[in-house]
Structure 1
Amino acid sequence: MNSYLKLIRNVLLIGIFVLCACQQASKTFMPGELWPDNNGVHINAHGGGILFHQGTYYWFGEHKIEGKAGNKAHVGVHCYSSTDLYNWQDEGIVLSVVEDTTSLIVKGCIIERPKVIYNANTKQFVMWFHHELKGMGYKAAMTGVAVSDKVNGPYTYLKSVNPNKGYWPLNFPDSLKQKEVDMDTIKQWSVEWQKEVVDGVWLRRDMEKGQMARDMTLFVDDDGTAYHIHASEENSTLHIAQLSDDYLSFTGKYVRALEGKMNEAPALFKRGDKYYMISSGCTGWKPNAARSAVADHPFGPWTELGNPCLGSDDEIKTTFQSQSTYVLPVQGKDDTFIYMGDRWTPENAIDGRYIWLPIEFEHDKPVISWFDEWRLKELPGQF
């Protein structure tokens, strides 16, 4: 090899080395940009959540494929790990859909918003997710659960259910439990129709089969009590439900929250002695203005705080073109939280981007502003 070719080869090798080093040494978040993992591939963990375990963050999310078909589950739930939140290692598929048509998690069903929590008593990692049955669109409105002895799986699918069958919410008055109404005779979205929704018409309808559970998240309180928060009653009302001690089933203890307000994409977190929730309206894949609320207990009552976003009209009306999926408390950094959102691309699901932004507080109200690039607080003046 002559000296000229050697020079070209060395320059190329140096370029590759520098590129790889930069990818592996990222120290900033760049919302909306491609986010490569340790293999240089855009992270594939949509609608996700984070579990911090033994010094490492684990990001679980929906594995998408190209095109519209990617909005259904053709692979399963993907997992990534990181010690700094910037650089992520591919841990592979931790819950796989199957070819067996008798299984509820058959390929082509819908698996959304997987969240994983750790049960210190059973030493098990428990995953819950929004589950729709193949060929039924969004009619099943179930939630599924899977477990593993290892954080990075594989997870074993156990069951899917409509929660709290036969149980009334703790905050539902006796006076409404036997109320009868024919919704077909009431104009949809009229004042009368909306009042009946608030009064629990869909709740009563679903008492025998179990309640609807669509967009969901999990939250574990300081005492180890776990809660499953999900959009219910045709997405009109959130249900906040206590899980069993092993986190594998529902206890029948739950409340209705923000009745009739049409919230989905809930993300619950705790700051000090207050509980906060960020959620979105119900506009399908299209982004809308975020909502926020506060309570003294996961069971509420919840007080609305309004849109947490600051910025231009377009930014705040669309939550920076994103929808909430999780709020991440950063370990070792007091009062530091990250808003995790998805910028959906339903025409090509795999190209969905991640919108991670710092949450600040003004007068005990969460505030989210846009940054093209940002990093966690290390020096004064930084987040």
Structure 2
Amino acid sequence: MEQYWNNRQKQKQAIRSGELWYDDGGRHINAHGGGIIKYGDTYYWFGEHKDDWTSNAMVGVMCYASKDLINWRNCGVALSVTAPAINQTNRQGGRRRGGATTDSDIEQGCILERPKVIYNPVTKKFCMWFHLELKGRGYDAARYGVAVADRPEGPYKFLYSQRANAGTWPLEGSPMHFDEYLKRDFGTGQMSRDMTLFVDDDGKAYHIFSSEENYTLQIAELTADYLHHTGRYTRMAPGGHNEAPAIFKKDGTYWMITSGCTGWEPNEARMFSAPSIWGPWTQHPNPCRGPKAEKTFMGQSTFILPAGNQYIFMADIWRPRHPRDARYIWLPIEFEDGKPVVRWQDEWIPSTITK
């Protein structure tokens, strides 16, 4: 059976969004809400491992590797969640729940979403950030988590989790003009949910995330080692209710595609542009074209990948009743009158194997 699937993979020469995508072992790729980094001549795809019955993290973050963005090798678990320790003395910093103790925030059964990895050429570390909700607390923790590794495929070591920029105001305005949720969370830190990472041309990196009860996106600068916030951050589209941010830069302009907040149900994509990462950000019409474009082809944005001479829009088709079976949408970004357009294609070939 394994040889059968290996032969099948060798024959695959195009991307077909919405279909089952198999790895080199014949299993549907399990890397949801993911992102991709290129290191050397290889692309590494990181995403949430989902089970058949729950979207909670029972395994952790998966990693897959490819040289052509079509045929993927399963590299295994890049970041593992921790199994609860039963009937042990609670260690400092641990939490006790129903007889179980753990000293890790990424305990099996937590919510771990949208992992993204960037490489720091100075420290030579691969840095993973993700949205984290503590086990048993629903979505009220609203934290980000950070992990590091020496190799792109891992294993990644979990460092810490927390909320964002506690005790720090954003770059805009005076405190008296700030919204209710921003002021409420000033001391404990701003909420951090759906997220992505972006490394600019000058090597500076940014954490972009849904905050303030998902009403406002925040863009926060990272320290030189890509492991913490510097304290400089801005609010984007305040009150706009955006999530699922995906960003890229072309010819000096920053472009971001997001979604509205409708849970697992798809909605119309939003698009913004700015001359600086700090703004001002201008909203544009939905960039999607084709069948079900008004619902983002029944998906939700997760990442935009620069690959060869293309930019690839990545999205997830969520299936909450069978999370593992969630499908992937990858489409090339075109440009019309200088603005990005995402046009549905049943099948297409990336420039990585056509150039």
From the two aligned structures, give the one with the greater strand fraction: 2
Query: In the TM superposition, what are the counterparts of 1:342-381 in structure 2 within 5 Å?
Result: 342-377=316-351
Greater Rg, structure 1 or structure 2? 1
> What's 1:130 paired with?
131
> What's 1:320 paired with?
297
Give the distance between the partners of 1:78 and 1:94, measured in 2 at CA.
5
**Code of the aligned partner of 1:152:** E
> What's 2:96 paired with?
none
Give the distance between the partners of 1:125 and 1:178, measured in 2 at CA.
40
Of 4, 21, 27, the match for 2:13: 27
* Percent identity over paired residues: 54
Query: In the TM superposition, what are the counterparts of 1:219-238 in structure 2 within 5 Å?
Result: 219-238=198-217
Query: In the TM superposition, what are the counterparts of 1:95-244 in structure 2 within 5 Å?
Result: 95-100=79-84, 101-102=101-102, 103-171=104-172, 173-174=173-174, 177-178=175-176, 199-244=178-223
Of 12, 20, 30, the match for 1:44: 30
Of 49, 69, 77, the match for 1:85: 69
Per-residue deviation at 1:178?
3.6
Q: Which runs of 5+ in 2 are unaligned?
A: 85-100
Distance 1:234 1:18, change over 3 A: closer
**Code of the aligned partner of 1:95:** L
- The 8 Å contact of residues 30 and 373 in structure 1, kept in 2 or not, is answered as yes
Per-residue deviation at 1:248?
0.6
The residue matched to 1:38 in structure 2 has which SS? coil
CA-based RMSD of the aligned residues comes to: 1.7
Per-residue deviation at 1:254?
0.4
Aligned length: 338
> What's 2:258 paired with?
279
The residue matched to 1:94 in structure 2 has which SS? strand
Give the distance between the partners of 1:324 and 1:46, measured in 2 at CA.
11
The residue matched to 1:304 in structure 2 has which SS? strand
Give the distance between the partners of 1:236 and 1:46, measured in 2 at CA.
23
Q: Which runs of 5+ in 1 are unaligned?
A: 1-12, 180-198
Per-residue deviation at 1:141?
0.4
Per-residue deviation at 1:200?
1.4
**Code of the aligned partner of 2:165:** N
**Code of the aligned partner of 1:321:** M
Distance 1:178 1:50, change over 3 A: same
- The 8 Å contact of residues 145 and 158 in structure 1, kept in 2 or not, is answered as yes
Give the distance between the partners of 2:10 and 2:144, measured in 1 at CA.
36
- The 8 Å contact of residues 307 and 352 in structure 2, kept in 1 or not, is answered as no
Give the distance between the partners of 2:290 and 2:345, measured in 1 at CA.
10
Per-residue deviation at 1:26?
1.4
Distance 1:75 1:17, change over 3 A: closer
**Code of the aligned partner of 1:318:** K
- The 8 Å contact of residues 25 and 87 in structure 1, kept in 2 or not, is answered as no
The residue matched to 1:318 in structure 2 has which SS? helix
Give the distance between the partners of 1:42 and 1:109, measured in 2 at CA.
23
